[in-house]
Amino acid sequence: MTDAALEPALPPPPQTPFRRVISDFCESKLALFGLFLVAIALFIALFAPLISPQNPFDIAGLDLLDAKSPPGSVSGDGKMTYWLGTDGQARDMMSAIFYGMRISLFVGFTSVVAALIIGIVVGLVAAYAGGRIDALLMRIVDIMLSFPAILVALILLSLLGKGIDKVLVALILVQWAYFGRAARSAALVERNKEYVEAAACLALPAYRIVFRHILPNCLPSLIVIATITLARAIALEATLSFLGVGVPVTQPSLGMLISNGFEFLMSGSYWISFFPGIALAIAIVGINLAGDHLRDVLNPRNLR
Amino acid sequence: MLVYIIRRLMQAVLVMVVMSALVFAGIYLIGDPVAMMISPDASDVERDAVRAALGLDQPMWRQYLVFVNAAVHGDFGKSFLAGQPAMGLIFERLPATLELAFASLVISLALGLPMGVYAGLRPKSIGAKTIMTGSILGFSLPNFWVGLMLIMTFAVLLPDLLPWWPRLPASGRGATVDLLGLKLSLFTADGWRHLLLPAITLSLYKGALIVRLARATAREVLPMDYVKFARAKGLSESRIVGVHVLKNIMIPIATVSGLEFGQTVAFAVVTETVFSWPGVGKLLIDSILLLDRPVVVAYLVVIVFFFVALNLAVDLLYSVLDPRVRLESRAS
């Protein structure tokens, strides 16, 4: 702030809304820290095969004598150090966490994007069509939202069985309703604005008005909801995997890794559950810190 | 008002019928409960006998009709595994879950409300910032992991390191006392020791929510004219905050804690699994994993009923706390 005051009176650069959002976002150190955590989690997830000391899925490479080694111990053949210890099957925890992060983020991200798309279509159709279609769609959304996500997902997965694809289906089904309701209320506000009237006067087809004119103006608020939902989706997947109805044993997500450590917890082998939880917390806390501030920045009430 | 309640009740019945049919159909399609109950080397004749005894040889629609007919009379069939009526099994376990949810509600209100109001009164202070960052941690950290870490700290590590540290139990429910036919552990020291860790785990998410809500409402209420007027009258700060501000904060808090009470009961599934708490949540997980159809369906009917009733109760409570709502409905 003081630097700007000392500068000679240059005309301020034209502030586009996008720039304003970026600069407002960077004002909060906590939000930047959140973004940093998200970057770490993303890096781990993207480059897991390159940075992992060991391939945790390669059972032939595991030496059962190394099972449950505490953090920092050296492997039996002296080739590598288990910085975060090993689990009950002698897997290097660090490698397992890197791969687990990959699965957790993939499931969370894919399910949120799919739910966002479904929610947008439902919400915009409801808002634009109005009348009975609106009433019917919103009744379904109301009913979906009146049940806790964890319970619906649990029941769904108990019917569908295990597997990443099934977890995705369950997560999408419990999440689309949030976006449906948010998209509808955002679109209702936009619908009565003059540019929509203008587009209607040009006799543009309804789908074009809805998706090319109304949708772009609803997106900012939906993206904020999507970031916070992403954090919830990752946590929900971890919870479901912990309960034993989520991802299969062959593709352990972070939640599954924590669950695997549960049985060793009472005997003092804390690291098998502890470190995957830290990794999970890094991803979720990061997303929440960044998303929380993004909501403040994009909130039209806070415009200066 | 009466019309509103009746309409809501009819909607609730419809939801319950649809949900039970969906779950019934879904569970019907997967798995064979007989395979889970009988030893693999049983003969086909024995297998068919079990199947006929459970009514599983009937076509699906007839099974559902039989189920609905019995359900209307309050009979949800017998648990395939326990051999007891499913509804009885659920009601037997329900006090444990409600007790856990209630304890966590009390903890989250007792801690969350003062912290949130403080953060709202002094938003710039370091304490407020710490509280707000802490609240993000509160709803970010996965619930089950927090439970595991509490077990690790208070049931394993601390008592191992410090001999004088009391070892808190990591699983199960303590001694119970019969109260009007309900088995409650709230009244014994042993019960409290068992209750403490699960209740703290469960209260974390809701506590964080209450902190944020209380702070936001406090900041909304403080610039209001009636607060300024109270200040102008020379009322003490404690009376302004304790009476004028707090009364208005209680409206959204009551709504959210009411609605969240349902979420807490649902989320207790996770906490109960971590701490082997013998409530309905653990019963549900066990029944799902073992394909105990009647128990899952009965649980679902109970929970749907519970949620609809809860939503209605919160709406009514709302009209009691906020006179404006009542006046509007009377005017219309």
- B35/B46 Cα distance (integer angstroms): 12
CA distance to partner chain A, nearest, from residue B137 (Å): 6
pLDDT of res. A280: 92
| Residue A117 pLDDT exceeds 90 | yes
% of chain A surpassing 70 pLDDT: 89
Probe site for chain B from A144, A265, A282, A301 (most B CB atoms < 10 A): A265
> Of B27, B267, B296, which has the smallest distance from its Cβ to A150's Cβ?
B267
Q: What's the gap in Å between the CA of B141 and the closest CA on chain A?
A: 6
Across the interface, which of A155, A244, A274 has its CB nearest the CB of B289? A244
Distance from C-alpha of A133 to C-alpha of A123, rounded to nearest angstrom: 11
Q: Which residue has the higher pLDDT, B245 or A78?
A: B245
Estimate to the nearest angstrom the gap between the alpha carbon of B122 and the chain centroid: 32
Tokens matching residue A175: 């999440």
Cβ contact B116:B212 at 8 Å = yes
Q: Count the neighbouring beta carbons within 10 Å of the beta carbon of residue A278.
A: 14
> Which residues on chain B are in Cβ contact (under 8 Å) with A155?
23, 26, 288, 296, 300
Residues in chain A with CB shorter than 8 Å from the CB of B288 are: 154-155, 158, 245
- In the predicted model, what is the mean pLDDT of residues A211-237? 89
The position carrying tokens 């769904």 is: A156
Q: What is the per-residue pLDDT for B65?
A: 78
- Residue B39's pLDDT is 67
What's the pLDDT at A39?
93
> What count of CB pairs under 8 Å joins A to B?
113
Please choose, from the candidates A17, A37, A211, the residue with its C-alpha nearest in 3D space to the C-alpha of residue A127.
A211
Confidence tier at A41 by pLDDT (50, 70, 90):
very high
Cβ–Cβ under 8 Å, residues B55 and B34: no
Residue B98's pLDDT is what? 87
Q: pLDDT confidence of A4, banded at 50, 70, 90?
A: very low
List of chain B residues whose C-beta atoms are within 8 Å of the C-beta of residue A277: 141-142, 145, 148-149
* Residues composing chain B: 332
Indicate the pLDDT class of residue A49, thresholds 50, 70 and 90. Answer: confident
Query: If you count DSSP H runs as helices and E runs as strands, how many of each does chain A have, helices first?
Result: 13, 2
Mean pLDDT of all residues in A42-71:
78
Cβ of B145 and A273 within 8 Å? yes
Q: What is the pLDDT of residue B35?
A: 65
The residue in chain A having the minimum alpha-carbon distance to the alpha carbon of residue B25 is A159
Residues of B in contact with A288 (CB under 8 A): 136, 139-140
Contact B149 A277 (CB under 8 A): yes
Query: Searching chain B, which residue's CA lies closest to the CA of residue A284?
Result: B140
Query: What percentage of residues in chain A have a pLDDT greater than 90?
Result: 25
**Residues in chain A within 8 Å Cβ distance of B219:** none
Label residue B115 left, alpha or beta by phi (over 0 means left) and psi (-120 to 50 means alpha): alpha
10-residue averages of pLDDT along chain B (332 residues) = 70 74 69 64 75 72 76 73 81 87 91 91 88 86 88 84 79 72 72 88 90 90 85 85 84 79 83 89 85 79 76 67 56 44
Which is more confident, B39 or A171? Answer: A171
Closest residue to A289, CB basis, from B136, B160, B285: B136
DSSP state of A92: B
| Residue A226: band (very low, low, confident or very high) from pLDDT cuts 50, 70, 90 | very high
- Min Cα–Cα distance to chain B from A284, Å: 6
Of B136, B156, B263, the CB nearest to A268: B156
pLDDT at A304: 44
pLDDT of residue A36: 93
CA distance B23 to B26: 5
Q: Give yes or no for residue A96 having a pLDDT over 80.
A: yes
Q: Tell me the pLDDT of chain A averaged across its residues.
A: 83
Inter-chain residue contact B156 with A255, CB threshold 8 Å = no
Give kind and range of the element (H or E) at residue A82.
Answer: strand A81-82
B194 CA: distance to closest CA in chain A (Å): 16
Nearest to A239 among B30, B142, B307 (CB): B142
Best mutation target among A158, A230, A294, A296 (most B Cβ atoms within 10 Å) is A158
In tens, the pLDDT along A279-299 reads 999 999 999 988 888 888 877
- Inter-axis angle of helices A164-191 and A131-145, to 10 degrees? 130
One DSSP character per residue, A154-195 reads HHHHHHH-SSHHHHHHHHHHHHHHHHHHHHHHHHHHHHTSHH
Distance CA B281, CA B285 (A): 6
Smallest Cβ–Cβ distance between A266 and the set B26, B156, B274 belongs to B156
Beta strands in chain B (DSSP E): 177-179, 182-184
Q: How far is CA A172 from the centre of its chain?
A: 12
The pLDDT of residue A6 is above 70? no
Q: Is the CB of B148 less than 8 angstroms away from the CB of A268?
A: no
